[in-house]
């Protein structure tokens, strides 16, 4: 057996207190009994430190525990394995704390970049997709963030997007799902502090617009209002999205007269018609439509 996460946590707490106190008493509960069983397995006799009611931890006992851990290839008590990746945990010893480890995609984002130099054996496309650690990205090097909602549309992005012609260095990222969602959400929060534009390219429906607002997007990338009015349909605004409309109506009520979003929301909320991203047509017809500052979430 090896020391459980809770057992290591208790011993780390004791080690911290031992910096100020000569000994620490821990009541005989389940986790203490786990430690006592481990001590017995390691042939460490706690002697008078152990009673029916408590385990008394002192510096000498901790030294014996760390020595036994070293002999079995485990990390010393002071090392907290929680939050480390499996690779980092492996550097500290044999046991793996699966429930507390850093998830492999926790910091990952999926980026779409103009195609670079050809690679032997790989047919070159218009764009190159890179799985990146968001911590490696210097956000100051980019002048606009583009968030793409749907993965199939993200894969199909053309080499150049005419709607982004005003920006020299766009950062185009997939919004994410259960694989990439966490990394993008954290990056979007960091981006918001820069004050630079954040464009949302996704479905023109109640959920899509709500997600854009939740993410802190400053603009929607949409076809012109006339194109949306011509092609939007009720099938692209399914009944299950009714629950997202109340928050959008509150946003619409707060828009000033003449705001560019008013006409779009009239189609969405007034006529109950939407348009999925895959039906937007050519990217040359997209335009940034400003969003109001977020005030309420889109879900009820």
Q: What is the DSSP string of 81-115?
A: -TT--HHHHHHT-S---GGGSPPTTTTEEEEEEE-
Residue written as token pair 């607002």? 213
Q: How far apart are CA 76 and CA 58, in angstroms?
A: 15
pLDDT score of 170: 96
Fill in the DSSP letter of residue 147. Answer: E
Query: Tell me, what's the pLDDT at 104?
Result: 63
β partners of residue 24: 57
What sign does the CA torsion over 248, 252, 253, 254 have? Answer: positive
229: Cβ–Cβ under 8 A, 6 or more apart, which residues?
267
Query: How large is the angle between the packed helices 5-17 and 30-41, nearest 10 degrees?
Result: 90
Evaluate whether 74 touches 95 at the Cβ level (below 8 Å).
yes
Helix (H) or strand (E) holding 30: helix 30-41
Strand, helix or coil for residue 208: helix
Q: Could you report the average pLDDT of every consecutive run of 10 residues in the chain (300 residues)?
A: 84 91 92 93 92 93 89 79 48 48 73 85 87 92 96 90 92 84 85 95 95 94 94 92 92 90 94 93 82 54
Say how far apart CA 205 and CA 208 lie, in whole Å: 5
Instruction: Give the per-residue pLDDT at 72.
Output: 75
| Among 43, 52, 39, 57, CA closest to 3 | 39
pTM of the model: 0.65
Domains in the chain, please, with CATH?
5-100 (no CATH), 108-290 (3.40.1360)
Strand bridging mode 219-223 / 108-114:
unpaired
CA distance linking residue 277 with residue 208, whole number of Å:
9
Question: What is the maximal distance between C-alpha atoms in the chain?
Answer: 84
pLDDT of residue 284: 62
Structure tokens at 201: 């390219």
Walk across the sheet containing 170-174 and list its strands: 127-133, 108-114, 170-174, 144-148, 198-201, 219-223, 286-290
Only one residue has tokens 């006799």, namely 45
CA–CA gap between residue 14 and residue 3 (Å, rounded) = 15
């Amino acid at each position: 057996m090896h020391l459980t996460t809770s057992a290591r946590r208790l011993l780390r707490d004791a080690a911290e207190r031992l910096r100020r106190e000569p000994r620490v008493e821990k009541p005989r509960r389940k986790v203490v009994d786990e430690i006592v069983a481990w001590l017995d397995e390691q042939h460490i006799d706690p002697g008078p430190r152990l009673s029916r009611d408590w385990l008394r931890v002192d510096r000498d006992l901790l030294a014996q525990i760390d020595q036994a851990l070293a002999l079995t290839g485990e990390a010393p008590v002071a090392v907290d394995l929680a939050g480390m990746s499996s690779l980092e945990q492996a550097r500290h010893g044999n046991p793996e704390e699966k429930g507390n480890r850093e998830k492999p995609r926790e910091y990952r984002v999926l980026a779409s970049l103009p195609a670079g130099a050809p690679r032997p054996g790989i047919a070159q496309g218009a764009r190159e997709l890179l799985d990146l650690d968001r911590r490696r990205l210097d956000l100051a090097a980019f002048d606009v963030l583009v968030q793409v909602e749907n993965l199939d549309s993200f894969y199909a992005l053309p080499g150049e997007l005419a709607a982004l012609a005003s920006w020299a260095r766009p950062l185009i990222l997939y919004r994410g799902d259960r694989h990439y969602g966490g990394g993008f959400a954290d990056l979007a929060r960091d981006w918001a502090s820069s004050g630079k534009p954040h464009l949302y390219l996704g479905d023109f429906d109640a959920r899509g617009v709500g997600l854009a607002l939740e993410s802190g997007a400053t603009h929607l990338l949409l076809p012109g209002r006339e194109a949306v009015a011509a092609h939007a349909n009720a099938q692209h605004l399914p009944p299950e999205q009714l629950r997202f409309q109340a928050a959008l109506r509150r946003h619409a009520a707060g828009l000033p007269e003449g705001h560019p979003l008013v006409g779009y929301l009239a189609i969405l909320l007034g006529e109950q018609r939407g348009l999925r991203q895959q039906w937007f047509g050519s990217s040359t017809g997209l335009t940034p439509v400003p969003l109001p500052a977020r005030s309420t979430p889109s879900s009820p």
